[in-house]
Amino acid sequence: MDIQFISKYLPMYVEAARLTVFIAFIGILFSVLLGFICSLIRYIKIPILHKIVDIYIELSRNTPLLIQLFFLYFGLPKIGIRLSSESCAIAGLVFLGGSYMAEAFRSGLESIPNIQRESGLSIGLTKMQVFLYIILPQAVTVSIPAFSANVIFLIKETSVFSAVALADLMYVAKDLIGLYYKTDEALLMLVMAYLVILLPVSIIFTLIERKMRYAGFGNQSSF
């Protein structure tokens, strides 16, 4: 193990990690937004839109991210749309993440028994109020485990972005291996870098989950 090599190229990893985290953060933020809108459209069954959402979700979940990126990076320029590596990466991540997030929210929304809606209506709330004050808070809590699994999954998926020439962690590692043949050191740093990013995320979500359970949601069987 070449410690000197590691310390020499560590700053490159830090830089790449920063980029990875940045892309992941923006991508996941918009994924959540898109997913939330999609699950709402499906939940209230807006006529034509919900069919479109269905198609989008199937398309996005059943094609690999790599292919989606190739389509964005190499396909779109053929019809005159040229995206930078960063925009491509973010667009790809949102296209994939949106459907996963939509499904996570849907599982939450569908887990709330209909009688909750009815007892909300029966105290004179409007449908909108029932959704905001009764369905949504419970649904979000139920979705959190699926939601956090998706966040971790999407952060890991960023390793594909080197394919569209984004200088992320994977890209740097491959670069160093290609230049210096220091495979062990480069890969070790790569794994460590992902752990440093992902472990805190994982721990934070575990804490959030515990906190939400404690607040009185845990016992679903009490309905």
Partner 1 sequence: MKNDEKILEIKHLKKKYDDTVILNDININIYKGEVVVVLGPSGCGKSTLLRCINGLETIQEGGIYLNGEKISNQDKKMHFVRQKIGMVFQSYDLFPHLTIVENILLGPIKAQGRDKKDATQEAEKLLERVGLLDKRNSYPRQLSGGQKQRVAIVRALCMHPQVMLFDEITAALDPEMVREVLDVMLELAKEGGTMVIVTHEMQFARAIADRIIFLDQSRIIEESTPQEFFENPKTSRAKQFLNVFDFEVVKHSDSNK
Q: Where are the alpha helices (DSSP H) in 44-182?
A: 47-61, 65-70, 85-111, 114-122, 127-130, 136-157, 169-180
Is 120 a binding residue for partner 1 by CB under 8 A? The answer is yes
Is 1 a binding residue for partner 1 by CB under 8 A? The answer is no
Sign of dihedral through CA atoms 165, 76, 92, 70?
negative
Tokens of 202: 């994982």
| Interface with partner 1 (CB under 8 A), residue from 126, 153, 184, 195 | 126
Return the number of the residue (27 or 120) whose C-beta is nearest partner 1.
120
What's the rounded Cα separation, in Å, for the pair 117 and 41?
Answer: 18
Stretch that binds partner 1, among 7-15, 31-39, 82-90, 120-128 (CB under 8 A): 120-128
Tokens of 163: 């394919």
Count of residues touching partner 1 (by CB under 8 A): 26
Distance from CA of residue 100 to its chain's centroid? 7
Stretch that binds partner 1, among 77-85, 92-100, 177-185, 212-220 (CB under 8 A): 212-220
| Interface with partner 1 (CB under 8 A), residue from 68, 85, 99, 141 | 141
Within 8 A by CB and 6+ apart from 35, the residues are 97, 98, 99, 100, 101, 102, 103, 104, 105
Is 45 a binding residue for partner 1 by CB under 8 A? The answer is no
Stretch that binds partner 1, among 58-66, 113-121, 150-158, 159-167 (CB under 8 A): 113-121
Return the number of the residue (16 or 144) whose C-beta is nearest partner 1.
144
Which residue matches tokens 């994982």? 202
Is 108 a binding residue for partner 1 by CB under 8 A? The answer is no
What's the rounded Cα separation, in Å, for the pair 159 and 148?
Answer: 18
Tokens of 80: 């005159």
**Minimum distance of partner 1 from residue 212's CB (angstroms):** 9
| Interface with partner 1 (CB under 8 A), residue from 33, 37, 137, 187 | 137
**Minimum distance of partner 1 from residue 118's CB (angstroms):** 6
Which residues make up the interface to partner 1 (CB under 8 A)? 115-116, 118-127, 129, 133-134, 137-138, 141, 215-220, 222-223
